[in-house]
C-alpha cells in the first residue's frame, strides 16, 4: 500500500496554506476528508487530468462546496493543467478559477458549481442518470461512476431527500455518496439540530449502506472496493474528524470556516510532521500524485474516441421548419401548453433529449408520444417521471445539463417555480441550458385559486441574470420559443404556457426567421398614437383593446413580446423604434406583478396585478382584477383624451 498519510497531508497543507494566505476559507473539511479523497483518487476514480473532457470519465462532485480547497488541491496534485500552483496561491482572488466555492469549469476538472448545500448531491443524481443512459445507448458493459462528497449540512437540506429517493427508485448503481460524518456544522455539534439515523434513512429509499472509519486507509479502500459492483446507489458513511491534525481545533466548529491562524498552523505542521514551506510539495510526493491516474490509461485509450451527438442549430432549424410548415394551417383555439405538446411529438427516439415532469405530465403536456419512460429497467428512456420533487428535479436537471450529453427539459406549474429557484439560479450561474416548461402561467388557470396562480414568479425568473424567459401567445409563437430555447447553449430557459385556450393570432405577423423577442402583432408600425405591449395570454386581450379604442380615434400598435430576454438583447435603436409612438405613451398588459415593467413605462400605464388571485373561473378572475377589454380600453381612452 502507498503511504497514504503523506499523500493526504499534501491536500491538508495546500488547503491550510491557501486559506491562511487568503485570510478566509474553510480548512476543516479538506483536513477531515483528505484521507478518503486520497484513496479515492489513487485507487478508484477513473479520470485523465490530461483530457478533462473525456466523455467516459468518472465524475467527482464536492457537494459540501465550502471545502473547495480539497478539490483544488486534488486537481493540482493530479495534474490538471489549468489548476496551477499559482491558482492555489491565489485562492479566492479575482480572476482565478480557485473561487471561494467551486465554480463549474469542466476544462479544469470542476464538474459543477457547489456551495448552496444539498445541490451537489442532487446534481450527481442527474449526472448518474445521464451516464447510465449514455452507457446503455453505447452498449458499454458499465457506466462511469459519480462519486459525491457531502457533509452534515447537505443531508440536513430537504433537497437531498428528494434526490436520494429518486436515485434509489431508479437504482442508480453508478452513484456513490461519501458522507463526511464529523458531527460538526457551523453552530457547533450537529446534535443541536440533527438526530437522524442516516443509515436507516438511506436504506429506506433502497440504497446500499456501509459505515466506515474515515482516517483508516485500509478500511476506506475496502469499502470503496465493495461498492464497485453494487446493484443500487451506495452510501459510505465515514466517521471523520473535522480539522484532522490541528491540535487545538480538530473536532471543533472553529476549524470549519476560518484560517487556523499562524500559531495553530505551526502546531499542526509539527503534529503531522510536515516540514515543508507553504505551498511546497516534495517532488517525491508530487510524482506519486501525478502518476495516480496512469492506472486509467488503458481504459482511456480504449474509450477516448467514443463521443456523443448533440442537436446542432442546423438540425434544430430543420426540424422546426418542418413543424412550422406542418402546423401552419392550425386555426382552432388551443392552450399554449397543448401547442407545446404538439411540438414535442416531433422529437425522435434517437434525439439526445431527456424530458420529464414533476408528476404533472398530463397537465404540463410535456411527453412526446414516442418518448419511452426512463426507469430502472429502461435506463436509455427519454422521459423521467420525477415524482412530486420540483427542487430535486431542477437540481437533477442541472446535473444532466452539466454533462452536456443531453438537452434536458421538464415541467411543473409556474407557481411552483419558487420551489426550484435555488437550482434555476445555479443553472444560470453555471451557464448551462436546462429548459423548464412552466404551465398554468397566470390567474387564467382559474378555479385552482391563488395558491396555484402565479403572480410574481415570471418576474422572479426575469430577474435571474443569464436566463431566458419565454411566454408565447399561440402555437406559432410557441414553436419559435421552443426553437430558440433549444438553441441556447449557455443559459437556462423558462417557457411559460397557458392552461386556458387561446386564439391563433400571430400567423401573418410573426416573421419566425427573424425572431427578436418582440414584434408588431396589430396596428400600424409607424405613426401610431400609443403602444401596447403584451405577453402570452394577454396578447389577444391587447389586440381587442386596440380594436376597441380605434372607435374613439386612438390608433394603437400592439407589441407581442414573447421574450423580454431576447428583446432586451437587441440594439437600442431597434427597441426604441419598435416601441415608439406619437404620444410616447406605452401601456403594458400582463397578468402578473407590475414591477418589472417599470422600465418600459410608468406605473399607472401597467395593467397587471400586485395581489394574489382568486378561486373562480379564469375569466371572472381576470374581470375581478380589471383585466378586460372594456376596463382597460376605458382607462386608456380617459388617459389619452385628458392629456
Ligand X SMILES: Cc1ncc(C[n+]2csc(CCOP(=O)(O)OP(=O)(O)O)c2C)c(N)n1
Of 53, 81, 158, 186, the residue at the interface with ligand X (CB under 6 A) is 186
Q: Measured from the CB atom, is 180 or 477 closer to ligand X?
A: 180
Of 25, 126, 144, 151, the residue at the interface with ligand X (CB under 6 A) is 151
Binding flags for ligand X, 232-271, as an x/- string (CB under 6 A): ----------x-------------x---------------
User: Which helix (H) or strand (E) covers residue 423, if one does?
Assistant: helix 421-430
Rounded CA separation 415/490 (Å): 25
Crossing angle between the packed helical segments 28-43 and 68-78, to the nearest 10 degrees: 40
DSSP 283-297: HHHHHHHHTTTGGGH
Q: Please, what is the minimum distance in Å from the beta carbon of residue 380 to Mg ion?
A: 38
Q: Which of Mg ion, ligand X, none does residue 462 bind (CB under 5 to 8 Å by kind)?
A: none
Of 12, 20, 25, 28, the residue at the interface with ligand X (CB under 6 A) is 28
Total residues at interface with ligand X (CB under 6 A)? 20
List of residues contacting Mg ion (CB under 5 A): 151-152, 182, 184-185
Stretch that binds ligand X, among 112-120, 166-174, 402-410, 566-574 (CB under 6 A): 112-120
- Phi (first) and psi of residue 238, to 5 degrees: -100, 125
Q: Measured from the CB atom, is 29 or 323 closer to ligand X?
A: 29
Stretch that binds ligand X, among 145-153, 375-383, 434-442, 597-605 (CB under 6 A): 145-153
- Strand, helix or coil for residue 234: strand
Please identify which of the residues 162, 208, 341, 390 carries the catalytic annotation: 390
Q: Which of ligand X, Mg ion, none does residue 523 bind (CB under 5 to 8 Å by kind)?
A: none
Q: Please, what is the minimum distance in Å from the beta carbon of residue 578 to ligand X?
A: 41
Q: Which residues pair with 410 in a beta bridge?
A: 436
Name the residue among 357, 352, 358 with its Cα closest to residue 340.
Answer: 357
Binding flags for ligand X, 54-93, as an x/- string (CB under 6 A): ----------x-xx--------------------------
DSSP 8-state class, residue 110 = B
Stretch that binds ligand X, among 88-96, 149-157, 275-283, 404-412 (CB under 6 A): 149-157
Task: Please tell me whether residue 367 binds ligand X under the rule CB under 6 A.
Answer: no
DSSP 8-state class, residue 277 = P
- Strand, helix or coil for residue 59: strand
Q: Which of Mg ion, ligand X, none does residue 440 bind (CB under 5 to 8 Å by kind)?
A: none
Q: Please, what is the minimum distance in Å from the beta carbon of residue 184 to ligand X?
A: 5
Retrieve residue 191's grid coordinates: 446534535
- Strand, helix or coil for residue 36: helix
Q: Measured from the CB atom, is 189 or 503 closer to ligand X?
A: 189
Locate all alpha helices (DSSP H) within 239-370, ordered by sequence.
Answer: 262-271, 283-290, 297-303, 313-327, 336-344, 361-364
Please give the biggest Cα pair distance in the chain.
90
Handedness of CA 32, 209, 396, 75 (dihedral sign): positive
Q: Please, what is the minimum distance in Å from the beta carbon of residue 102 to ligand X?
A: 12
Q: Which of ligand X, Mg ion, none does residue 103 bind (CB under 5 to 8 Å by kind)?
A: none
CA dihedral defined by 542, 456, 365, 372, rounded to 10 degrees? Answer: 150
Q: Which of ligand X, Mg ion, none does residue 115 bind (CB under 5 to 8 Å by kind)?
A: ligand X
Rg, Å, the chain Cα set: 28
- 390 carries an active-site annotation: yes
Name the residue among 70, 80, 65 with its Cα closest to residue 14.
Answer: 70
Residues taking part in catalysis: 390
Residues that bind ligand X (CB under 6 A): 28-29, 64, 66-67, 115-117, 151-154, 157, 180, 182, 184-186, 242, 256
Amino acid at each position: 500500500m502507498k503511504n497514504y498519510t503523506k499523500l493526504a497531508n499534501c491536500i491538508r497543507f495546500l488547503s491550510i496554506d491557501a486559506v491562511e494566505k487568503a485570510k478566509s476559507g474553510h480548512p476543516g473539511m479538506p483536513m477531515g476528508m483528505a484521507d478518503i479523497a486520497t484513496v479515492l483518487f489513487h485507487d478508484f476514480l477513473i479520470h485523465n487530468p490530461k483530457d478533462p473532457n473525456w466523455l467516459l470519465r468518472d465524475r467527482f462532485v464536492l457537494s459540501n462546496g465550502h471545502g473547495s480547497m480539497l478539490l483544488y488541491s486534488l486537481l493540482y496534485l493530479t495534474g490538471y493543467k489549468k489548476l496551477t500552483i499559482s491558482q492555489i496561491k491565489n485562492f479566492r482572488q479575482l480572476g482565478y478559477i480557485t473561487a471561494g466555492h467551486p465554480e463549474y469549469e469542466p476544462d479544469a476538472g470542476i464538474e459543477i458549481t457547489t456551495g448552496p448545500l444539498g445541490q451537489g448531491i442532487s446534481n450527481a443524481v442527474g449526472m448518474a442518470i445521464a451516464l447510465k443512459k449514455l452507457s446503455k445507448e453505447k452498449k458499454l458493459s458499465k457506466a462511469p461512476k459519480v462519486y459525491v462528497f457531502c457533509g452534515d449540512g447537505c443531508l440536513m437540506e430537504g433537497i437531498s431527500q428528494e434526490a436520494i429517493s429518486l436515485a434509489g427508485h431508479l437504482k442508480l448503481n453508478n452513484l456513490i455518496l461519501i458522507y463526511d460524518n464529523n458531527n460538526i456544522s457551523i453552530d457547533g455539534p450537529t446534535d443541536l439540530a440533527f438526530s437522524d439515523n442516516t443509515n436507516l434513512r438511506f436504506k429506506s429509499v433502497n440504497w446500499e449502506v456501509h459505515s466506515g472509519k474515515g482516517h483508516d486507509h485500509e478500511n476506506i479502500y475496502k469499502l470503496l472496493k465493495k461498492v464497485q459492483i453494487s446493484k443500487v446507489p451506495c452510501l459510505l458513511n465515514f466517521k471523520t474528524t473535522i480539522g484532522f491534525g490541528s491540535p487545538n481545533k480538530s473536532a471543533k466548529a472553529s476549524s470549519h470556516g476560518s484560517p487556523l491562524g499562524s500559531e495553530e498552523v505551526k502546531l499542526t505542521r509539527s503534529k503531522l510532521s510536515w516540514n515543508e514551506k507553504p505551498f511546497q510539495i516534495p517532488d517525491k510526493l508530487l510524482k506519486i500524485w501525478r502518476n495516480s491516474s496512469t492506472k486509467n490509461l488503458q481504459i482511456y485509450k480504449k474509450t477516448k474516441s467514443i463521443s456523443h451527438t448533440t442537436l446542432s442549430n442546423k438540425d434544430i432549424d430543420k426540424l422546426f421548419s418542418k413543424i412550422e410548415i406542418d402546423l401552419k394551417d392550425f386555426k382552432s383555439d388551443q392552450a399554449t401548453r397543448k401547442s407545446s405538446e404538439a411540438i414535442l411529438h416531433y422529437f425522435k427516439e434517437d434525439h439526445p433529449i431527456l424530458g420529464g415532469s414533476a408528476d404533472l405530465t398530463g397537465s404540463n403536456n410535456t411527453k412526446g408520444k414516442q418518448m419511452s419512460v426512463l426507469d430502472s429497467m429502461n435506463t436509455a428512456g427519454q422521459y423521467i417521471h420525477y415524482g412530486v420533487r420540483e427542487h430535486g428535479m431542477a437540481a437533477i436537471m442541472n446535473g444532466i445539463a452539466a454533462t452536456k450529453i443531453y438537452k434536458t427539459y421538464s415541467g411543473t406549474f409556474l407557481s411552483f417555480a419558487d420551489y426550484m429557484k435555488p437550482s434555476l439560479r445555479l443553472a444560470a450561474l453555471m451557464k448551462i441550458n436546462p429548459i423548464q416548461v412552466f404551465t398554468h402561467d397566470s390567474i387564467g388557470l382559474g378555479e385552482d385559486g391563488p395558491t396555484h396562480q402565479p403572480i410574481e414568479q415570471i418576474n422572479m425568473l426575469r430577474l435571474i441574470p443569464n436566463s431566458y424567459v419565454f411566454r408565447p401567445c399561440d402555437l406559432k409563437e410557441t414553436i419559435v420559443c421552443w426553437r430558440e430555447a433549444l438553441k441556447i447553449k449557455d443559459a437556462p430557459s423558462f417557457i411559460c404556457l397557458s392552461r386556458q385556450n387561446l386564439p391563433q393570432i400571430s400567423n401573418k405577423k410573426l416573421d419566425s426567421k427573424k425572431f427578436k423577442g418582440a414584434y408588431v402583432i396589430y396596428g400600424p408600425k409607424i405613426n401610431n398614437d400609443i403602444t401596447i405591449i403584451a405577453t402570452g395570454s394577454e396578447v389577444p386581450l391587447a389586440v381587442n383593446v386596440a380594436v376597441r379604442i380605434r372607435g374613439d380615434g386612438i390608433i394603437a400598435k400592439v407589441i407581442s413580446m414573447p421574450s423580454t430576454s431576447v428583446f432586451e438583447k437587441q440594439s437600442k435603436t431597434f427597441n426604441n423604434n419598435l416601441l415608439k409612438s406619437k404620444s410616447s405613451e406605452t401601456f403594458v398588459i400582463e397578468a402578473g406583478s407590475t414591477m418589472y415593467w417599470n422600465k418600459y413605462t410608468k406605473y399607472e400605464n401597467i395593467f397587471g396585478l400586485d395581489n394574489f388571485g382568486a378561486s373562480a373561473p379564469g375569466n371572472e378572475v381576470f374581470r375581478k382584477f380589471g383585466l378586460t377589454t372594456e376596463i382597460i380600453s376605458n382607462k386608456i381612452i380617459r388617459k389619452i383624451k385628458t392629456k
